[in-house]
Amino acid sequence: MEMGITVTGRPDRDEWHLRGALWLAEMGDCTRRQVGALIVGPDKRIWGMGYNGADPDGKSCLAGDCPRGRHYEWTGAKILTRFNERDCACGQPWPCADAVEPGSSYDTGPGTCINTHAEGNAKADAMRRGGGDLEGCQLVVSCEPCEGCVRDYRNTTRVTTILWPDGAIGLP
């Protein structure tokens, strides 16, 4: 879906919800990626929202509590020459001995991520507000969802569509 202002100057609901997901992503508690998600009801109102992060008042990736958040190949701007061409985010040369093995599971083992995906947090928020099985709802995400989140929504909700800035899929 191309994001742009409509002829009337007012965004349509899908565009407005996509902007909301992008805005929520700014709250993401991850040093590597920030994602936002909205559950939009059949009435086009927001039923739930979430961003990737751990439990409130719990551990924080941004505070260094996540093994994946502390150790990854730094590709950002070099700050006061602290970083060489290839360094770990912790400041050690890359590959860092403490880094999680590339391609390893986010959900099990030594590199277990402490965060819940934005899609999961949005679903939990909608359920707390009495969203039931989310029949006829749409999930709007700031980026393409992972296969696990798509599978979770397909198997546990009655959400009909997942929308992100560059695409959408219908769920049976």
Quick one: how far is CA 72 from the chain centroid?
18
Q: Which amino acid is at 27?
A: M
123: region left, alpha or beta (phi > 0 left; psi from -120 to 50 alpha) = alpha
Residue-level pLDDT at 157:
95
pTM above 0.85, yes or no: no
Residue-level pLDDT at 2:
56
Return d(Cα 74, Cα 88) in angstroms, integer.
Answer: 5
Q: List per-block mean pLDDT (blocks of 10 residues) for the chain, which spans 172 residues.
A: 61 94 95 93 96 88 84 63 64 82 75 90 94 93 94 96 96 87
Residue-level pLDDT at 79:
47
Spatial CA neighbour of 163 closest among 5, 25, 38, 33: 38
CB 100 within 8 A of CB 67: yes
Residue-level pLDDT at 4:
56
Residue-level pLDDT at 77:
54
123 φ, ψ (degrees, to nearest 5): -65, -45
Residue-level pLDDT at 57:
83
Return d(Cα 164, Cα 58) in angstroms, integer.
Answer: 29
Q: Which of 75-110 are b and which e, b meaning 16 or more Cβ less than 10 Å from the residue's Cβ?
A: eeeeeeeebeeebbbeeeebebeebbeeeeeeeeee
Residue-level pLDDT at 37:
98
CATH of domain 1-55+115-172: 3.40.140.10
Residue-level pLDDT at 81:
44
Residue-level pLDDT at 154:
96
Domain borders along the chain are 1-55+115-172, 67-113
Residue-level pLDDT at 109:
77
Residue-level pLDDT at 12:
92
